[in-house]
């Protein structure tokens, strides 16, 4: 069993209910393949630093997954087809960092920085 | 003697030239890797605030000879910067 961090970016015009559907859809795929979703994080709507398919913003969803390699194969196969998504990224980690959350807090600090500038 | 020479070279590189050759070595500007110190933040592709310090205005990765990051940490940095780029975070 491996530990994975999986992030997907959805289009900017997806509604919150659709986002929930997306998270449920992909959590189900993980569970079907004998995987386990340890944690899901919703990073919210963030500004993209460059345009992706003419989108300026994207909603980020972050999964922490415990499972075998075939889980990731199946996930990425489905995500490559999905038109609601812009990007996905999977990273294998040795240890989950469940305490620090970089997003959420980050928005406040960014606002402060922009106010300074 | 060779030790002193290398010290001089380093001083020139980081724009901290020695005032005098006869100055004792302890006044030499000594920099250490800011990421290897105890209590330093962990390098991670989600920690954008940290990564942005090691990226130029144009989004290029800064060389370690400017930032004084150790080899090991520089490798980690460049990998996580590339990951963050993929996610359009940087």
Q: What is the pLDDT of residues A34-45, one digit of tens each?
A: 999 998 988 889
What residues have CB less than 8 Å from A53, skipping those under 6 apart?
A: A11, A86
Q: What is the pLDDT of residues A44-82, one digit of tens each?
A: 899 999 999 999 999 999 999 999 999 999 999 999 999
pLDDT of residue B24: 57
Q: Measure A35 CA to nearest chain B CA, in Å.
A: 23
Nearest to B84 by CA among B47, B50, B39, B45: B45
Q: List the single residue in B44, B87, B90 with the smallest CB-CB distance to A89.
A: B87
Q: Which of these, A91, A85, A74, A89, lies nearest to A3 by C-alpha position?
A: A91
Query: What's CA A41's distance to the chain center, in Å?
Result: 7
Separation between Cα atoms, residue B13 and residue B3, nearest integer Å: 16
Q: Are B62 and B34 in contact (CB under 8 A)?
A: no
Chain A residue nearest residue B50, CA to CA? A102
Judged by CB atoms closer than 8 Å, whether chains meet at B83 and A52 is answered as no
* Interface with chain A: mutation pick from B49, B52, B87, B90, highest number of A CBs within 10 Å: B87
CB contact under 8 A, A97 and B44: yes
- pLDDT 10s digits, B16-43: 555 566 655 555 555 788 888 888 888 8
* Inter-chain residue contact B88 with A48, CB threshold 8 Å: yes
- % pLDDT > 70, chain A: 88
Residue of chain A nearest B85, judged by CA positions:
A49
**SS3 assignment, position A90:** strand
Is the ipTM value over 0.90, yes or no?
no
Cβ–Cβ below 8 Å for A60 and B87: yes
């Amino acid at each position: 069993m491996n530990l994975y961090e999986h992030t997907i970016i959805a289009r900017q015009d997806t509604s919150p209910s659709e986002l929930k559907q997306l998270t449920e859809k992909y959590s189900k795929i993980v569970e079907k393949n004998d995987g386990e979703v340890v944690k899901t994080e919703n990073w919210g709507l963030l500004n993209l630093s460059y345009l992706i398919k003419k989108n300026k913003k994207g909603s980020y969803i972050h999964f922490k997954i415990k499972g075998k390699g075939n889980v990731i194969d199946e996930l990425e196969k489905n995500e490559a087809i999905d038109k609601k998504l812009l990007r996905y990224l999977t990273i294998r980690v040795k240890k989950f960092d469940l305490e620090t959350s970089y997003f959420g807090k980050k928005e406040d600090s960014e606002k402060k920085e922009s106010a300074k500038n | 003697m060779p030790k002193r020479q290398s010290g001089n070279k380093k001083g020139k590189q980081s724009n901290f030239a020695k005032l005098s050759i006869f100055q004792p070595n302890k006044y030499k500007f000594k920099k250490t890797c800011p990421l290897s110190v105890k209590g330093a933040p962990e390098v991670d592709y989600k920690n954008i605030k940290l990564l942005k310090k090691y990226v130029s205005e144009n989004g290029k990765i800064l060389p370690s000879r400017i930032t004084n990051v150790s080899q090991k940490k520089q490798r980690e940095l460049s990998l996580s910067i590339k990951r963050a780029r993929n996610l359009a975070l940087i």
